[in-house]
Amino acid sequence: MNQSILSHVYENGLVLLAEPIPWMQSAAFSILLPAGSIHDPPGREGLCSLACDMVQRGAGPRDARQLVIDLDNLGLRRSDSVSSSHTAFSGATICENLPAALEIYADMLRRPLLPAEHLEACRSILLQELRAIEDDPAQKLMVELRRCHYPHPWGSPPEGAAESVQAIALEDVCRFVRERYIPNGTIIALAGRVEWEPLRELVGQLLADWPKGEDRLPQERPPEHSARHIQYASNQCHIGIAWDAVPYRNPDYFRAWGAVGVLGSGTSSRLFMEVREKRGLCYAVYASYHTLRDRAAVFCYAGTTAERAQQTLDVTVAEVHRLAQGIQDDELDRLKARIKSALVMQQESSSARSRAIANDWYHLGRVRTLDELGQLIDQLTSQGINHYLAQHPPQDFTVVVLGPQQLRMP
């Protein structure tokens, strides 16, 4: 796991990263653009997601159909996503086809056609995604929990809302792409069988003269940090609890992350064992760690019946409070075993590694090697985690409940 990380920053601010892994036959790339939902204008929420679809409807000399055909002919497994901070594109293929794939994506970033005749199809897809969220109460709850807990617009969902998506015009998409698809703030990370010098030269030819844009952050509004009930006619009740944590760049991150892993990650976690297995109060329960660049939070979920909802909330909150009393060595040992397995699997996936490299650079301004990550995990102790918990106990909860009746909030 002792690979070296290579980096180059072009004059326009574009960052190129690579981790050559010579024994692989594949190569993968991840592209992070500073085009997340925080940049959606008021009344046009969801614009970032609509633009992400539109730029893939033809670029450079290729119309929408030819672009798909050419990518398929390269055997490229590809995906895209939008978060609060970024629009992300990723792909993986055999190493020989990587240069041709990068050339096509360079056209998508710099010369998308944004065909007017495809706008309504893209809008329809986004509206279907919004309806799917409405039909999935667990997902709807977590969207609302994040919206309530983070300052606006960091908690705004990238899908937007139906009324704002309906209001988006083609000129909105063109303006967003022009202003947010820019090299400064963009990270391109590759992993697998890549040769650094030819790669750096190719990306320079494709993107080094990409004109810089204005990189600015939006105005924030304070978070609600409140207790909220969402009326939902069902026999089920969905409970969400959030509290602040430290971001990935904080020196205490791995201690905080380890504590949350003990609390709610996996079937041996405290929440799973106490709330689900021992008491049989719910069918699903977990806690997950979510980090932005300058803030982070723990998001906890429990799904149960309406009759058991109050007890589920009470017991879950009690377990969260009990975490401040500390964890045991055996709990940390089980968590470390799972983490190390995940690191080994990441080493075997060029796609996973390219995503990790890009995210590390965004959060840290550098990349942690797998060896360094392994050492950080090995250095975790229950004493260190307990010291962190004593200084940063879970508190100041944001609670959102989606169900047929209001609950007594903690």
pLDDT in tens, 212-263: 999 888 888 888 778 899 999 999 999 999 999 999 999 999 999 999 999 9
**b (16+ CB within 10 A) / e for 123-156:** beebbebbeeeeeebbebbbbbbbbbbbebbbbb
Give the domains, in start order, of the chain with CATH numbers.
6-207 (3.30.830.10), 227-403 (3.30.830.10)
Does 278 score more than 70 pLDDT? yes
What whole-number percentage of the chain has pLDDT above 70?
99
Give me the residue label for tokens 């990935």: 248
pLDDT of residue 1: 41
Average pLDDT over residues 2-14: 89
- Is residue 409 predicted with pLDDT exceeding 90? no
Average pLDDT score over residue span 28-52: 97
Q: Supply the mean pLDDT for the chain.
A: 95
Nearest to 394 by CA among 296, 313, 319, 321: 321
Phi, psi torsion values for 293, nearest 5 degrees: -70, -40
Kindly report the pTM of this predicted structure. 0.94
Query: Residue 231's closest CA among 410, 406, 407?
Result: 406
pLDDT tens digits for 179-189?
999 999 999 99
| Structure tokens belonging to residue 333 | 């040992």
Question: Cα(368)–Cα(255) distance, rounded to whole angstroms?
Answer: 17
